[in-house]
Amino acid sequence: MLFKSVIGQDELKQQLRQAVQEGRIAHAQLFWGNSGYGALPLALSLAQYINCTNRTAADACGYCPSCHKIQKLIHPDLHFAVPVNNTKEIPAEKKPVTDHFLARWREALLANPYLNEQEWYETIGIENKQGNIGVNEAARIMEKLHFKSFEAEYKVMIIWLPERMNMQASNRLLKLIEEPPTKTLFFLVSEDTTRIIKTIQSRAQPVHVPPIDEEALIKIKMERDGLPEPQARKQARAAAGSYSKLLSVAANDADTTERFASFTSLMRLAYVVDGLALMAWAEELAKTGREHQKSFLTYAEQLLRESFMNNRHAPEVTYLLGDEAAFVQKFSPYVNERNVEAIYNAFNLAMTHLSQNGNAKIIFTDMAMQLAQWVRA
């Protein structure tokens, strides 16, 4: 992947290029940032830039043999370790590792370098289970890196979501990450560094990946999708610096009517504290698919933000039109400093529990009852 294909992050891209040009390539680097910020695309771009035989100050060439293979994710010196689990095709007795799913990993990553964890699990059919990087994967990593490079100057091992690595695997790889073979690089790509053991964190150079600049996201929507600026700005604002979230917002933008009706119904029922009706509302939403439920919560957080901004008399940073704008105008007096954080936390907690495959009916019933306590605060 070329640096120019990474959305935004201009300052960070320059820092990475400069480190290569000055020969300051840390043997272990920990790229960390929220899902959709671009940590994985940046790691891929750096791997390509390092091994490009005709790189310039700005980017890899994109046409040398090394670039061609890395761009197709088939370079023999580019390795991956990602969270997996047993499936119907790869049962537990086969001891699942990344290599069992490599073809699907390549296909998914080529289709979307900003792939998120849940999308990956859905791709390999484990959406109801959590992936992990276990001791069998650690053994495979050690085996691969034992050999010299086939073609490139550097072997690169990209470990995606090292927070999914269990303690046994972490301890087994610790010495290798600290003292890898000559011309071997570890790129760890994390969304939650608090779950990575401290001994591994201390052996990797941290590379913080911040949210994507909002203007970069707006440009993407206007140039790639041909959206008018107000709509592009609205979607970029809802994405909160995440390209993954931007894709989700864009995919759901055409189906806003249903979510809008569900949100307004929820808030009206919470305002009058109609417990039975709130339970019925939660039951209806629980009948829908998991992705629909998550998109509703993302939308709800967006409308909450817009309502609070309107309450604070900051219309210049709100991007609603039509019925949404009219509703927010009426609803915003009820979203204030006393309750906005609690309401947001209710939505965010529901999203967290959904991601952990909790019972949707219980999750939404609890969320609705919390809102009934706070909407009139």
CB 28 within 8 A of CB 188: yes
* Cβ burial, residue 299 (10 Å; 0-12/13-18/19+): buried
CATH of region 3-208, choose from 2.40.37.10, 2.40.50.140, 3.40.50.300, 2.40.480.10? 3.40.50.300
How far is residue 300's CA from residue 238's CA, in Å, rounded to a whole number?
A: 10
pLDDT number for residue 219? 93
The pLDDT of residue 322 is: 66
Whether the model clears a pTM of 0.75, i.e. scores above it, the answer is no
For residue 319, what pLDDT is reported?
58
- Domain 255-374, second-level architecture: Up-down Bundle (1.20)
Q: In this structure, are residues 70 and 48 in contact, taking their beta carbons and an 8 Å threshold?
A: yes
Cα 328 to Cα 337: distance, rounded to the nearest angstrom: 16
pLDDT, position 318? 55
Mean pLDDT, each 10-residue run in order, the chain (377 residues): 95 96 95 95 97 95 95 96 93 92 96 93 85 95 90 95 95 94 95 93 95 94 86 83 85 72 93 94 92 87 86 63 79 88 93 90 95 86
- pLDDT value at residue 177: 94
The owner of tokens 């039951």 is 283
**Quick one: which of 256, 261, 285, 268 has its CA closest to 366?**
285
How many Å apart are CA 81 and CA 69, to the nearest integer? Answer: 18
Q: What are the extents of the domains in the chain?
A: 3-208, 255-374
d(CA 212, CA 41): 12
Taking the C-alpha atoms of residue 139 and residue 3, their distance in angstroms, rounded to an integer, is 32
**Strand ranges across the sheet with 184-190:** 78-81, 155-160, 184-190, 28-32, 205-208
